Amino acid sequence: MTEPENRCRLVLIAPDIADVDEQAKIVGVALKGGDVASVIVPQYSLNDGEFQKHAEKLVPIIQESGAAALLAGDSRVVGRSKADGLHLTGPASEISEAIDKYADKLIVGGGNAADRHHALEIGEERPDYIFFGKLDGDIKPEAHPKNLALGEWWASMIEIPCIVMGGTDLASALAVAETGAEFVALRLAVFADAGRAPSIVAEINALLDEKAPRFED
């Protein structure tokens, strides 16, 4: 699979499905639709043991597609499942601790960057990426205007890549790309109709190929 290095790329957020086999099947099928940079797997309401089972099933499927598997939940599960990284939703101190612990071994990123001040605090820790929005924040068709504004501000100033949460409409991916953000995260836009997930991934990639701004070398 060729990777479009010079434009915004898609990040998928795994859907909230309690049945491990069903979740793995839906994510695996979606990944056949085209380029996906990474898949973030939230713990949702699963206990640590259940999350472990989901991670062990999902991580190899994600990695075989060429995407990075990032877990958002119990950090102990990351090592056991051989995931590529850890997505954190806490303050800068949490990211700092994880970077100290996993530096050069895992991708560490995320952060609850609700405003510029907290974003800069997180940025000082030098994570692999920063995330604007909430993993389940796709409650409207469009991306949240505040997240778009933060993504545009960050991308214009700071080299650390950013991921901006999109909305429930696949067209929100282009709005994120137009901010200059390196990645757009989508969940319900892809998984609300699981049977169409691969064609939606293909459609998003085609949209970004055609209309997303290109990064300068």
Confidence (pLDDT) at 217: 63
Which of 62 and 104 is assigned the larger pLDDT? 62
Distance (Å, whole) CA 106 – CA 121 = 21
> How many Cβ atoms from other residues are within 10 Å of residue 217's Cβ?
5
180-215, pLDDT tens digit by residue? 999 999 999 999 999 999 999 999 999 999 999 999
Is 177 contained in some domain? yes
Is 80 contained in some domain? yes
Mean pLDDT computed over 124-130: 96
Is 99 contained in some domain? yes
Q: How many domains does the chain have?
A: 1
Is 187 contained in some domain? yes
Is 189 contained in some domain? yes
- CATH number of 171's domain: 3.20.20.70
Q: What is the DSSP letter of 170?
A: T
Confidence (pLDDT) at 74: 86
pTM of the model: 0.97
Distances, alpha carbon 36 to alpha carbons 30, 48, 77, 190, in Å: 9, 27, 23, 12
Which parts of the chain are beta strand (E)?
9-13, 38-42, 68-72, 85-88, 107-110, 129-132, 162-165, 183-186
Average pLDDT, the chain: 95
Is 2 contained in some domain? no
Is 89 contained in some domain? yes
The range of the structural domain enclosing residue 81 comes to: 9-210
Is 3 contained in some domain? no
Q: What is the DSSP letter of 4?
A: -
